[in-house]
């Protein structure tokens, strides 16, 4: 069957009347030897796309839960190259897209072209680098494009329409729409204007728009997902995985039954 591309996954979801559910996990939290089983568990739960975090010593966009997961992975000696090599070893066993979330420093230390090559060898579909501004992204975007790997763009609550049009003109894969001002982490609620903001991003974006930061419940995922093409859940999933309660992840996913049925048909 082979792993779906990001575009193919969104096409399947749209045909089934579903929204994407993107699950973030920290690579190496619990050891790299468990990574394949963790990703397969997410796929089985009905996750649409896996966002695979790379541990880094200065994670400026990460809240407490993900920072702690990163510390645990770093204590295991996990580095970017080893993560990509591990994924390459089981790439044919995973059918949903995998997107890597890393910071610029590990990529630069590895070498951007080498990073892009390793991503291609691991069948990585996209890369998220939150500390690289749009104006400095060409250094990363060109080698990734040559490797057929999307560089995922960010928009924030403070992005003007003109800024969104500029940033998203060449967007690939999907757009990461940040739902709060600040770092990742579970929250009790969101600004009343969030829905209108997400609708505005969709009007500008040439690719699907997915909302992330702070989403922790099925109800929040459903409510926010009504205004975009999918949601991204990180801290809550990291917490469940660390607690050995991965079976609860399926309960976070709106429309899980239809996604599961779609997978069986494929």
Query: Is 192 known to be catalytic?
Result: no
CA 32 to chain centre: 18
Q: Decide: 26 and 55 in contact? Cβ < 8 Å.
A: yes
Q: Which residues of 21-55 are buried (b: 16+ CB within 10 A; e: fewer)?
A: bbbbbbbbbbebeebbebbbbbbebbbbbbbbbbb
What's 162's DSSP letter? H
What's 138's DSSP letter? H
Q: Which of 186, 177, 237, 234 is nearest to 211 (CA)?
A: 177
Catalytic residue among 29, 43, 51, 172: 51
Query: Is 62 known to be catalytic?
Result: yes
Catalytic residue among 18, 62, 172, 229: 62
91 phi/psi in degrees, rounded to 5: -60, -30
* Crossing angle (nearest 10°) for helices 112-121 and 138-146: 40
Q: How far apart are CA 20 and CA 3, in angstroms?
A: 16
Catalytic center residues = 51, 62
């Amino acid at each position: 069957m082979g792993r779906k591309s990001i575009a193919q996954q969104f096409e399947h979801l749209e045909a089934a009347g579903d929204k994407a559910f993107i699950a973030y996990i920290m690579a190496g939290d619990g050891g790299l030897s468990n990574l394949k089983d963790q990703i397969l568990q997410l796929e089985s739960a009905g996750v649409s796309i896996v966002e695979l975090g790379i541990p880094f010593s200065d994670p400026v966009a990460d809240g407490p839960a993900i920072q702690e997961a990163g510390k645990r992975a770093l204590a295991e000696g996990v580095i970017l190259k080893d993560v990509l090599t591990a994924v390459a070893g089981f790439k044919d066993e995973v059918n949903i897209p995998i997107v890597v979330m890393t910071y610029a420093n590990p990529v630069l230390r590895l070498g951007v072209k080498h990073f892009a090559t390793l991503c291609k060898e691991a069948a990585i579909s996209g890369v998220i680098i939150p500390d690289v501004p749009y104006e400095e992204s060409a250094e990363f975007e060109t080698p990734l494009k040559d490797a057929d790997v999307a560089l995922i763009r960010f928009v924030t609550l403070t992005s003007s329409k003109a800024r969104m049009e500029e940033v998203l003109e060449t967007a690939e894969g999907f757009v990461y729409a940040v739902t709060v001002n600040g770092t990742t982490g579970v929250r009790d609620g969101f600004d009343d204007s969030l829905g209108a903001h997400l609708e505005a991003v969709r009007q500008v974006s040439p690719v699907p728009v997915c909302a992330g930061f702070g989403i922790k419940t099925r109800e929040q995922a459903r409510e926010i997902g009504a205004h975009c093409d999918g949601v991204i859940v990180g801290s809550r999933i990291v917490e469940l995985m660390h607690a050995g309660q991965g079976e609860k992840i399926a309960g976070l996913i709106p429309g899980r039954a239809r996604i599961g049925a779609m997978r069986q048909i494929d």
